[in-house]
Every structure is written in structure tokens, then in C-alpha cells.
Amino acid sequence: MRKLQKLAAGALEEVLAGTALHQVLPRCLQHLHTPGERGALQDIVYGSLRQLGRLDAWLAALLERPLTDPQLGWLLRVALYQLAYTRAPAHAVVHNAVTAAGQGWRRGLANAVLRNFQRRRADLEKIADDQPSARWSHPDWWIAKLQTEYPDQWQGMLEASLLHPPFTLRVNRRHGDVASYLRRLNQAGMPAHQTGPDAVTLDRAVPVHSLPGFDQGDVSVQDAGAQWAARLLDAQPGERVLDACAAPGGKSGHILERADVVLTALDVDAARLARVHENLDRLHLHATRVEGDAAQPAAWWDGRPFDRILADVPCSASGVVRRNPDIKWLRRPGDIAQFAAQQAVMLEALWRLLARGGTLLYATCSIFDEENDGQVRAFLARHIKDAERCPLPQPLTDGALLPDAEHDGFFYALLRKT
């Protein structure tokens, strides 16, 4: 446990210094040798980041003066997370953290902080609940933004963002249906329930290769909210379809599972584009893969219009922070305007590639208005003569799919070229 604590503390320190978690965690995992250890480290790091605001408040209340040793601070946050949110024996958590803290005053301080936390738990919970950034474990600016944009839903959205993300699969309709796959899961001792037309959510996560038929392409891992994209795009057999920003290929695979279309999977990152090939190969599906920038189609487009375009644009990822909890601590208020500007350029570029009468699905995994409805309203104001917004079914009447226990947060707008 001591090694896990030190690795987790180091990971948190790197992330809060500005390095994305997906870059930090693989390096940490290389120091561990068993699946159990690697899984435990991931749980500690992800969980600590989800609850970081609360851990910060607890630590501040337990210290008589600001801590001058940052590394010890991260170690204590990790241990506080373990004491509050895991089943690890409290005595083992404290003993290993105190030992990992080192000698002298560091050892004594670690012991005092963790013992006091156990004694003062109820009081510390109240202290944290009185501070918005600790109560909701999000930055103050983020909370204020949601309060303004979602005056009736902001609390539920923040609560959902603190949950462990659901483990949801997309059943490949070319290989079977949801009912039959649920039976296979039940027979394998993996209880699950249906959460969408093609979606099943397991009661607990399992290694993907242990899933019945995963290696044969019977299912893919994909959030239930993300599965709306292919359904709303509704590509028909024989149509030319562009999946812009396609990597890692989840939505491309779903489009091809639903219909025999001529699909171009575009991405600016060659390494990520290779993952599209891997995912489609497992599903026994094919797309033309193109390395290129969606905002600069002159470099890669052959001049033939597309009947449907999925514009799954880069965004703040504010709707998927429970899967990527580093995002809420690394984002800054000014980042949202930068994403919105990038999205506007990309949307204009892709619109020129769409055939008359064709449809473009604008999609983000953001919950912020500038990137979502505000972006679409501005686009429609510029395109009064050649664009209209198509109605969407429930629960997407306004395009927003707010995060809850069953799915992450997304936004969709279906635009037709008139």
C-alpha cells in the first residue's frame, strides 16, 4: 500500500502542475506488476481527483499553518481519500502513509493529521459542506457558471459528476440484440441492465476482454449518451458520410453497425487515427481513414460533397469530468472562449463539404452554453439562407443531455443544408 500511496501522490502532484492525467498515469502504472495493484492505483488517483476540493478543505482544517512540503501534502490527500472513500483498513492506511512521509516532523505531522481526521470526521464534513468548492469538489468559477446557465439543474449535474462513471456497452446490432446479450452477460455472472436501444450497463466494471464476444466485435465500450450520435445522424445505406475528429472510432463503429455507408474517418492525429483502424478491425467494419484537420479541408477533401457529417468537435469536455477528473482542475475560464472560437472555424469549414439537403450533426461532450446552444445560434444567424435546425426527440428537445447516473453530459444539434 505504501508504494501505491507514493505513486498516487506523485501522480496528483504532476496533474495539478498542469500535465494531463492520460499522460501521467501510464508512467505510474509501469512501476506496478499485478492487475490488482494497477487497478487500485487507478481507483485512488481518479477518486482523489474527483473529490479533490473536499480533500483540500479537510487538509486545510487539519493543519495549524500552511504546509511547506508539497509532496507531503499530496501524500496526505491520498491517505484522506483512502480513509473516507475506500474499504482499505484504516490502521493500514495510516501506518503506511506515516511511514511513507519520512522521518522527523513529517512523520509526526502525518500521524497527527490522519488520527485527527478519524476523530473529527463529522466536524470536518460540515466544514467542507459550507464551502462550495469543497461541497461540490469543482472550482468556484465552474460552479458559478452552472448556477447561471442551469438554475434548476446545477446541483444534480455536479452530484452526477462526482459519481463513479457507469460501465456501458454498445451491442453490435449486426451480431445480435440487447436482450440476447443481456442473457449472455447473466450466464457469465455479469449482472447488467438496458440503458438505451443498443446500450447495456453492467453493475460493475470488468476487464473488456472478459466480456462475452468482445474480441469478436459483439460489443464495444461506449457511454449511453455518446450512443445518441449515430442514431441522430441516421445515415442511410449507400450515403457518403464524414466522421470528423473520429478517433478513437467509437462513433464511426456505431454508424457502420447501423447502415452500410461509405464512411470517411478523419482525424488530425495519426496515432489516434490508428486506434480507429484497430477498433473497426475488431468490429469487422471498414472506413477510409484520412489524416487531416477538419478546419482545413482543402488539404485532404476530394471535392465530393458528403450526405451526412458528424462534427464531434474538440471541446472543454466538461460533460465527462467524472471519467476525466483532471479536466475540472486544469481548465481555466478563458479556455471556454478559445474552444468556442475553434469550434466556429471548424463548423464553417465542414458546412462547405455538406451536400444540399444533407445533414450535419454538431456534437460536444460539453455542458457550457458557449460551446453548445450558443455556438449553434451564432451559426444559424450567419446562415439564415442555407441552414435550418431539425427537431430532436425526447429527452433531447433542446439538444442538451445533462450528466446523470446513467450517462455523461453531451450536446447535439442536427442542422440541414437547405
Q: What pLDDT, in 10s, does the model give residues 81-116?
A: 999 999 999 999 999 999 999 888 999 999 999 999
Give the three-class secondary structure for 126.
helix
pLDDT at residue 162 tops 90: yes
Catalytic residues: 365
Q: Is residue 11 within 8 Å of residue 38, measured between CB atoms?
A: no
Distance CA 345, CA 348 (A): 5
**For the chain, what is the largest distance between any 2 Cα atoms, rounded to a whole number of angstroms?**
74
Q: Residues 166-225: pLDDT tens digits?
A: 999 999 999 999 999 999 999 999 999 999 999 999 999 999 999 999 999 999 999 999
Distance CA 74, CA 9 (A): 5
Q: What pLDDT sits at residue 362?
A: 98
Strand order in the sheet with 199-202: 192-196, 199-202, 167-171, 219-221
- The secondary structure of 129-158 as a DSSP string is HTSHHHHS-S-HHHHHHHHHH-TTTHHHHH
pLDDT at residue 264 tops 90: yes
Residue matched to cell numbers 476487464: 207
Q: Is residue 364 within 8 Å of residue 371, measured between CB atoms?
A: yes
Q: Is residue 184 within 8 Å of residue 219, measured between CB atoms?
A: no
pLDDT at residue 1 tops 90: no
Q: Residues 110-143: pLDDT tens digits?
A: 999 999 999 999 999 999 999 999 999 999 999 9
Q: What pLDDT sits at residue 397?
A: 79
Sort strands 288-291 and 262-267 into parallel, antiparallel or unpaired.
Answer: parallel
Q: Residues 265-317: pLDDT tens digits?
A: 999 999 999 999 999 999 999 999 999 999 999 999 999 999 999 999 999 99
